[in-house]
Each structure stands twice: as C-alpha cells, then as structure tokens.
Structure 1
C-alpha cells in the first residue's frame, strides 16, 4: 500500500493540501508506513546486527513498521527472499536494498510493477549499471533514491592514519585485506587505499587479497602472507572481522601487534573498540553503522509528503566516516549499549522540524 498522501495529493485542489498534510501527520498507528530492508549480512554478524538495531530504534521513534530480512551474504538467497516478498498480498510501502554483489538491476526489474517504493541503501547502482537501468526516478519510476556513505573516504582515512603512525624515511611494506570482490563497498575502500599509496612512493603494497569480510578466511590468508613477506610492518583491513583474523595469525607467528605490526580496523563492534584501546588495533574508523537509521528519517518524511529530493537531492551521500580517538571509542561503546542508543530520531526529521533546510546526518550525537 502506497503512503496515503502520495495517492491523494496529486488530485486534490491546492487549497486543500495543508489540511491533508495535517491529517496525514495525525493518522492512527494503523496507517504507519511499512518498510522492509533486504539486509545482505548475517543476523549474528556484529556490524549488520548493530546496523539493524540502530534502524529499529529510528523506526520506533518515527512510527514506522520495520522488517529486516537477512540474506546471509548469499546473492541467490537475497533474490529468493525478494521473490517471496514480491508475492505477498500486501507489498511494503518502501523496500530498502543494497547493491551487494551488484544485484540492484535484478531487484529493480523484479519490482518494476510493484506499488512499493524502492530505495538503495549503503551501496547504490554503479555508473555502468545506471547507464543500462537509468538513474533513480528515470526508467524505474518507483526507485525513488539512495543514501550511501563515502567508502572511498573510509579506505583513505585508514591508510592515512596507518602511515601517520610512525614517521620514517625507510621503505614500508604493507598488506591489504579487502572484502568481497563483487561488493561496491570493498571496491571503493580499495580505491581510497590506492589513492593514498600513490602519494607515498616508499610504501610497497606487497599483496592485496579478498578476505570476504570473514575472520577465518583472513586468518588463513594472513598465516601464509606474513610468512611469505616477513618484512611487512603495516596491514590495512577493510573491516574489523578481517583485522581480527590477521591479529590472530600475527600472534601465532610471534609478531607483536602495536609494536612490529600495525593494523587498521573499521566498524563498531565492542571487540574492536577494546582492541583499539588496548593498542592491538592502532587506527579505528567508524560511523557508517548509523546509515540505515538516517535513511528511515528520509523515508518517514517522504511518507508525510515531504520529498527528500527537495532537501539535498534524490541520491545523497552521508558524511559519516571518521577516525576516532580512544576516548571517543569508549563513548561510542557506552552509547551503543543503551536502549535506542539515546537518540531521538525525530529531531532529524523535516516533518518534525520544518526549519531544517537539509539533512545533516552524523555520529556527533553519539560522541557527546
């Protein structure tokens, strides 16, 4: 069922629209917009679990009905879940999807004649894909927009932080552990790493491997690579799970993380925060786990007749990534353990705050 406002507003006289908007804002909870998120991760995966919990906190504040479906990092399972969703008698008002394994075009085709509004979250279609499918609100009119983070910035922040740890004129040997090969986030984080390396000619990237975001796989790869390249002193990892795999392998080989081996980590797990404060992980970048919640703010406003395209564009990039200090990591850990994360998401809504002129999403509120 499409949001009531979007059905009626186009055919209603202009002088009646303020009254209609008032009625929509005071609708009973039975009229709450429904949202389904096709989550590409595992339900017990720390990052995606926190991501969904943050979304649920936002949905509760905003009066949205949220359902999260986990694909377990399996493209075929995600497509099967999408097909099952498409056959439901009642389609969700909004469907959130990622372009994990570049599945976006298939989802757009599947829901082409669905009443659901589609919204790309976390990763959107690539430029090459959009050359064929059209951009949002073009060939697929019910694909209404996207919200992503700057993953290239994340890769660069980790690389810059890693190379700034120990100023030296001597050559540096590095290993890099990227995520899944067919994942836009991994590709963009790699691009950020490579951009930084181009400005550091004395840093030699000995090898980049795909750890598939997985601790065990990165552990097995690191056992081999750290022996093959015994002079490696810096390790860049595209997420925390792979960093922990490298950490385990390094210790088994007699290396000393924080002393003769320097590692990065990205995400927001309690284990990562603690490893960072212990000095085992020396560069910590985080912030993107809040992205889904901010998307729900935009969709809440859209359902109320306030199109987010008028407040920053139909396709937006949230500047969420930042390198945090040890004190900030402790604050984040404490805030994330609170019910609802201690944030009133209505404060960020255009519908609740008409004086807002653009969405300014950040993790500042979690660091206070």
Structure 2
C-alpha cells in the first residue's frame, strides 16, 4: 500500500487495530472527530465491525472504501451509501474449494481434512469454509473431520495441528498442507516441499484500493465493486514467484499501471509478476 501511495503521490496513514472490535470502532470515532479529517478511509471489514465503522465515518462526511471483506447486504440496510466509494475483495470461496479439491481422489482410503479457520464470523473466513464444503460435497472420498477457529494465530494453529496429529485422528502418513499467504516463509515452505500450495495475493488489495481511489479522484463518479483471484503458488510456479516477489521489494512495481480510465482492471497474478521486473 505504501509503495502504491508513493507511485500516485498521495499521503497514507495506517492505523492497525489488530482485529480488535473496540479498537476498530475507537479508531473510526477518532478519525471522525479530527479537525483535519482524511479525504478517504480504507476500512477492512474485520470481525463484522465494518458497518459500525462505516456509519461513524459517513456521518462525518468522510468517503469510505471497503477492503477485503465487503459489507453484506444485511449490513447495508439503513446506511447512507452516498459516501461509499467502492469495494474490493478476493475470491475466497474458490481458494477454499481448490485447497480441498487438490487432495481429493489421491488416496484410495479417502481424504480426511483438518481445517484451521481464521475465525467464524469474518466474511473471508466464511467464504473459504463454504468453498471447502462445496469441494467435499463433490468428492465422496473427502471429509472435513475437524474444523476450528485459531483466531488468525500461527502459534495457536501449530498447537492445534500438533494435538490433532498426536491424538491419532488420522492414520495417514501422506499429508497435504495448504495455506493462504504469499509471504516469503510460505513461498519457502512450498519450495522445499513442506507445503503443497498456498493461495494468496490478497495483501495486494491495499495497493489496488489506492489505484481505485486515484481513479475516483481523477474523474470517475463511482467505482464498481471489484474482485480478484487468489491463485495458488505450487511446486510448478514457486521459483518464478520467489524471483519476482520473494524479496518483498514493492517499490520495484509501478502501481500506476494498474489504474484505469474505464474500470478495465487486471489484478491477476500474471499482471503482478509482469509488473515486477
């Protein structure tokens, strides 16, 4: 996001509320009461607090862009959406579907799936779970034998996985590990075989939101809802991703090329890799 802001010549302030309900609401209230209010606020609708944050900011006549977890139809009832600039979210459902589909049919004894969920209420987590459930419904040999929330904690995920394996809830020694992130540790894990695949690209949504806000402020009256894929990094393509994105040098990408005068956006992995020489 910072790299995109630098490319477009705007200013950015980041307020991290760490998925804390009260922290998110307090941050919105503080922004709404500032003497010098921001032109726009990008809101991540985490733990279903986006409606409250939106209402507070909108009543202060601040423009809002919703990031990653769009407000659901039920959440927009009674809201004045005139200050809603746009929304962008990844295809979480297909990511969950692909992760559960990949091992299906690979074991004659059936596939047992343990699912570690970020939480149980965030739209992204719900969509990924729905994707997994759709895949299982299509494959008679697959079953979700355990699904649990780990509250986005790597330590908790590790602990729950170790307990699951020690309890002998699976007799298989042929294990498939999939994740959701394009971080360097995740790429390294795919590269050395500790993980089979990892979907991601959603952290680029921050940069996409800057490009979309630029288009809004340079003449477009509204931004259509935008979506983008979360393609997998796997053994066949991980070297290319490591070469282009492994160092995390986002300044090498010219994010201005992702802006569009007619809202014909390309936020695909091919476009990202091509933009990172």
Residues 335-366 of structure 1: CA distance to partner in whole angstroms, max 9, x if unpaired?
Answer: 3325335221112222xxx5x55122222134
Rounded Cα–Cα distance in structure 1 between residues aligned with 2:206 and 2:217: 16
Query: Which one of the candidate residues 132, 136, 142 is aligned to 1:197?
Result: 136
The corresponding residue for 2:231 is: 322
Confirm whether residue 260 of structure 1 aligns to residue 174 of structure 2.
yes
Q: Equivalences for 1:36-51 in 2 at 5 Å?
A: none
Residues 89-137 of structure 1: CA distance to partner in whole angstroms, max 9, x if unpaired?
Answer: 111111110111111111122123223211111111123223x235xxx
**Structure 2 counterpart SS, 1:298:** helix
Query: Which one of the candidate residues 227, 230, 233 is aligned to 2:169?
Result: 230
Rounded Cα–Cα distance in structure 2 between residues aligned with 1:357 and 1:142: 19
> Which runs of no fewer than 5 residues in structure 2 stay unpaired?
none
How far did 1:141 drift? 1.2
Confirm whether residue 126 of structure 1 aligns to residue 67 of structure 2.
no
C-alpha contact 2:29 2:57 (8 A) present in aligned 1: no
C-alpha contact 2:58 2:64 (8 A) present in aligned 1: no
Query: Which one of the candidate residues 87, 90, 98 is aligned to 2:36?
Result: 90
Relative to 1, partners in 2 of residues 1:202 and 1:327: Cα closer, same or farther, differing over 3 Å?
Answer: closer
The corresponding residue for 2:110 is: 171
Confirm whether residue 63 of structure 1 aligns to residue 9 of structure 2.
yes
Residues 300-357 of structure 1: CA distance to partner in whole angstroms, max 9, x if unpaired?
Answer: 0111112353xxx2x2212x3112233532333333325335221112222xxx5x55
Rounded Cα–Cα distance in structure 2 between residues aligned with 1:365 and 1:142: 30
Runs of 4+ in 1 over 4 A off after TM superposition: none
Let me know the Cα RMSD of the aligned residues. Answer: 2.0
The corresponding residue for 2:252 is: 342
Confirm whether residue 367 of structure 1 aligns to residue 277 of structure 2.
no
Relative to 1, partners in 2 of residues 1:277 and 1:340: Cα closer, same or farther, differing over 3 Å?
Answer: closer
Relative to 1, partners in 2 of residues 1:228 and 1:270: Cα closer, same or farther, differing over 3 Å?
Answer: same
**Structure 1 counterpart SS, 2:174:** coil
Rounded Cα–Cα distance in structure 1 between residues aligned with 2:119 and 2:111: 26
Query: Which one of the candidate residues 136, 147, 160 is aligned to 1:208?
Result: 147
TM-score, length basis structure 1: 0.69
Query: Which one of the candidate residues 135, 146, 160 is aligned to 2:101?
Result: 160
The corresponding residue for 1:297 is: 211
C-alpha contact 1:157 1:285 (8 A) present in aligned 2: no
Number of aligned residues:
273
Rounded Cα–Cα distance in structure 2 between residues aligned with 1:225 and 1:321: 28
